[in-house]
């Protein structure tokens, strides 16, 4: 495929939506989603709903261009060949766990050199009674040469003999060498049964030998990184309790009917204009709206489906209270916040609607009425803080796209590595009595404020008592604004937080207990991107800064360690938290109550029944 096609097809993602100029609520006679009620489409197990777009024929020259051999990208062809061979190794693991050496696939040369793929000098780095995390005690990893049989038998020597097995190889680098090529791949091996779980995460370097048109064979195996996890808590830390939470008849109907149907099936029920650019960017909010001591849940929905408010109950279930609360709107709703905006000690609500940010006053019992509206299009998320220490909460709005009139001139992010044709974020100062003023310019937040913003987080990064603002942007670098007593200074460059594009979310915590708040930014990791951007033919005449920006686009998530001296250090790779796949939401949280903040990162994209579908 050509460079242009690779860039656009593999990297460029224009996630937009069509605004809907309504603020309508479901009435008593119209509680269901709007649109036609065609039955949902169904697929048999294993059947793919994907279009047959890759069935290239001579009559379709554009699809023929997708052949990397015809486009000068030999490295991608080699990656494909290596991937086919590694899939055979994955199948062998999933069928026998490498216990039967006779079932190893014939993908090795007779003279293969194999270093041990499981180090002997492993130490436990997690002091937890139920979970063990083993890592090498020294780096680089030194491993003795062993026979092929010993190599793979030792690899799984600590693994359970029974259970469900899963293996995945992800090639992230290709380098041509004499008589073949080298590949660098991430390796994930997993076994889980009813009592325990075993997992290996490693990086292998493989030298492949080619012999004409035949499939390449592995000529050497070397271990570069290694981690092994053992869990004794029935193999999992968490279990899906959705069914038990939605256990009453009405709530079950909502969970299975409204929430249980994917976008692909809603396209057959809702009007087309409601579904343009819908990719699940609908948020939620949690708070105690009626003061009973139980957390309640507000779930934003795509246009045409009613937003839902669920009240928490003493028995741990949720009760639908959407209509009674006056919050079952049919507008496309992306962001929501439960916060006390009028200092009356109950949770009010802010919603990001298609054309407006809408503020709702809570009467204290969980019933809401519109208090005010602010005209602003394309708001994706909201963040609240008392930035000026005046005693009330202010709102920062993250805007992805520019207004429709502006976007018509340049509808896609350009350039994709540093796009500045996005929306205008806004800081709305709470003046009291449900009045808000846009103070973006006067507070200094208009600097570099035309990007494709997904999220923002307030945190005091310099321990001066004022909350600073970090804005996460898609298609370009992120922004850090330091709060200097209610006025902001753009310090992205000098703080070292510029790194990375395709920003999705951020979370803060003092993960190393040094007294300074650190920052984790979720983004995208692309194995194809890592392979392509390191090749000589990739943008051969481009400015090095542009090539570096393109390289950063594929590197994944970033852990910014606060140095305490006004700057941050990128420790994502060293900490092992950069490869989060196509990440979205991310949050620091202490899973095992040991006082050390762990990380939970959601990932994926549009899912389907086809297991090979992204």
Is the pLDDT at 17 greater than 70? The verdict is no
Strands 435-438 and 426-432: antiparallel
- Is it the case that residue 612 has pLDDT exceeding 80? no
Weakest mean pLDDT among 57-71, 468-482, 546-560: 57-71
Residue 397 confidence (pLDDT): 97
Mean pLDDT of 422-446: 96
Per DSSP, 525 falls in state B
Q: Is the pLDDT of residue 129 over 70?
A: yes
CATH 3.10.450.50 location in the chain: 73-231
Predicted local confidence at residue 417, as pLDDT: 86
Mean pLDDT of 395-422: 81
Residue 509, strand partner residues = 518
Position 272 confidence tier, pLDDT thresholds 50, 70, 90 = low
Residue 365 CA: distances (Å) to CA of 290, 291, 295, 345, 361: 4, 7, 13, 12, 11
- How far are the Cα atoms of 260, 263, 362, 371 from residue 266, in angstroms, in the given order? 10, 5, 32, 32
- Output the average pLDDT for the chain: 83
**The predicted structure's pLDDT at residue 204:** 95
Question: Over 60: is that where the pLDDT of 8 sits?
Answer: no
The structure's pTM equals 0.84
**Residue 309: is its pLDDT beyond 80?**
yes
Q: What is the mean pLDDT of residues 60-87?
A: 79
pLDDT score of 63 more than 70: no
Q: Which residues contact 388 (CB under 8 A, 6 or more apart)?
A: 394, 429, 486
pLDDT band per the 50, 70, 90 thresholds, residue 154:
confident
pLDDT band at residue 43 using 50, 70 and 90 as cut-offs: very low
pLDDT of the residue at 282: 87
Least Cα distance to 290 among 352, 359, 345 occurs for 345
The larger pLDDT score, comparing residue 361 to residue 259, is at 361
Plot region of 578 (φ>0 → left; ψ -120 to 50 → alpha; else → beta):
alpha
User: What's the pLDDT band for 576 if we cut at 50, 70, 90?
Assistant: confident
- Judge whether residue 28 has pLDDT over 70: no
Q: Look at residue 358 in the predicted model and tell me its pLDDT.
A: 97
- Per-residue pLDDT tens over the stretch 205-260: 999 999 877 899 999 999 999 999 998 876 677 888 888 888 788 888 888 888 87
Question: Which option is the CATH number for 73-231: 3.30.565.10, 3.10.450.50, 3.30.365.10, 3.30.2290.10?
Answer: 3.10.450.50
Least confident of 99-103, 198-202, 306-310, 589-593: 99-103
Q: 415 vs 357, which has greater pLDDT?
A: 357
CA distance 279 to 66: 26
How far is the CA of 614 from the CAs of 511, 552, 604, in angstroms? 32, 22, 7
Residues 6+ apart with CB under 8 A from 170: 185, 186, 187, 188, 527
Percent of the chain whose predicted confidence (pLDDT) is above 70: 84
| Position with higher pLDDT, 147 vs 348 | 348
| Other beta carbons less than 10 A from residue 409's beta carbon | 8
User: Using omega within 30 degrees of 0 as the cis cutoff, is the peptide bond preceding 415 cis?
Assistant: yes
Residue 582 DSSP label:
B
Confidence of residue 62 (pLDDT cuts 50, 70, 90): low
Mean pLDDT of 22-27: 44
Can you read off the two tokens belonging to residue 158? 């600590």
Residue 405 pLDDT level (bands cut at 50, 70, 90): low
Strand partners, 134: 124, 228
Q: Among the ranges 25-34, 70-79, 578-587, which has the highest mean pLDDT value?
A: 578-587
Are 268 and 41 in contact by the 8 Å Cβ rule? The answer is yes
- Give the residue from 401, 416, 496, 480 showing the smallest Cα distance to 448: 480
Helix/strand/coil percent split, the chain, to 5: 15, 30, 50
pLDDT value, residue 59: 57
With contact defined as beta carbons under 8 Å apart, do 384 and 336 qualify?
no
Range with the poorest average pLDDT among 17-31, 68-82, 306-320? 17-31
Both structure tokens of 298: 């507000």
Residue, of 612 and 504, whose pLDDT is higher: 504
Task: Give pLDDT, residue 44.
Answer: 42
How confident is the model at residue 60, as a pLDDT? 62
pLDDT at 31: 42
Q: What is the CA radius of gyration of the chain?
A: 26
Reported as type and span, the H/E element at residue 184 is strand 180-192
CA-nearest of 355, 473, 458 to 422 is 473
């Amino acid at each position: 495929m050509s460079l242009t096609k690779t860039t656009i097809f593999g990297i460029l993602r224009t996630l937009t939506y069509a605004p809907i100029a309504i603020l309508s609520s479901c009435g008593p006679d119209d509680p269901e989603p709007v649109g036609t009620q065609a039955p949902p489409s169904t697929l048999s197990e294993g059947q793919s709903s994907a279009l047959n777009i890759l069935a290239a024929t001579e009559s379709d020259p554009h699809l023929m261009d997708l052949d990397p051999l015809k486009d000068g990208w030999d490295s991608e062809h080699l990656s494909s060949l290596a991937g086919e061979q590694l899939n055979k190794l994955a199948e062998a693991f999933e069928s026998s766990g490498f216990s039967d050496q006779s079932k190893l696939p014939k993908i090795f040369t007779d003279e293969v050199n194999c270093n041990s793929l499981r180090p002997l000098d492993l130490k436990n780095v997690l002091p937890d009674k139920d979970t063990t995390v083993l890592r090498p005690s020294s780096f680089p990893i030194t491993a003795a040469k062993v026979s092929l049989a010993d190599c793979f038998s030792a690899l799984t020597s600590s693994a359970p003999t029974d259970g469900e097995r899963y293996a995945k190889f992800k090639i992230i680098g290709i380098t041509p060498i004499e008589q073949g090529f080298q590949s660098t791949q991430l390796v994930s091996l997993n076994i889980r049964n009813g009592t325990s779980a075993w997992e290996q995460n490693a990086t292998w370097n493989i030298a492949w030998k080619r012999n004409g048109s035949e499939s390449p064979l592995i000529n050497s195996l070397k271990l570069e990184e290694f981690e092994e996890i053992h869990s004794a808590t029935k193999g999992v830390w968490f279990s899906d309790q959705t069914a038990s939470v939605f256990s009453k008849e009405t709530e079950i109907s909502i969970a299975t009917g409204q929430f249980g149907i994917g976008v692909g099936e809603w396209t057959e029920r809702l009007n087309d204009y409601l579904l343009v650019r819908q990719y699940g960017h609908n948020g939620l909010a949690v708070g105690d709206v009626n003061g009973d001591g139980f957390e309640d849940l507000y779930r934003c929905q795509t246009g045409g489906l009613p937003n839902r408010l669920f009240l928490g109950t003493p028995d741990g279930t949720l009760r639908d209270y959407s209509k009674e609360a006056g919050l079952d709107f049919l507008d496309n709703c992306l962001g929501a916040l439960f916060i006390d905006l009028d200092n009356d000690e109950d949770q009010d609500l802010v919603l990001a609607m298609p054309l407006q940010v809408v503020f709702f006053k809570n009467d204290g019992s969980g019933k809401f009425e519109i208090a005010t509206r602010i005209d602003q299009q394309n708001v994706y998320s909201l963040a609240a803080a008392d930035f000026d220490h005046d005693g009330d909460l202010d709102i920062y709005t993250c805007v992805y796209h520019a207004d429709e009139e502006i976007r018509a001139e340049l509808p896609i992010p350009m350039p994709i590595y540093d796009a500045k044709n996005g929306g205008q974020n806004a800081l709305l100062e709470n003046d009291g009595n449900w009045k808000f003023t846009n103070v973006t310019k006067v507070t200094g937040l208009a600097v570099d404020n035309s990007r494709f913003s997904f999220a923002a987080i307030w945190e005091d990064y310099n321990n001066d008592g004022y909350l600073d603002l970090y804005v996460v942007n898609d298609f370009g670098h992120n922004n850090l604004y330091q709060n200097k007593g209610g006025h902001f200074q753009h310090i992205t460059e000098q703080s070292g937080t510029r790194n990375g594009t395709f920003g999705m979310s951020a979370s803060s915590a003092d993960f190393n207990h040094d007294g300074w708040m650190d920052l984790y930014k979720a983004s995208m990791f692309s194995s194809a991107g890592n392979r392509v951007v390191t090749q000589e033919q990739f943008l051969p005449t481009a400015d090095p800064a542009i090539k570096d920006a393109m390289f950063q686009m594929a590197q994944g998530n970033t852990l910014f360690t606060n140095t305490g001296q006004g700057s941050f250090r990128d420790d994502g790779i060293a900490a092992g938290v950069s490869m989060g796949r196509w990440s979205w939401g991310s949050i620091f949280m202490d899973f095992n109550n040991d006082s050390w903040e762990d990380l939970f990162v959601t990932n994926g994209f549009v899912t389907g029944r086809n297991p090979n579908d992204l």
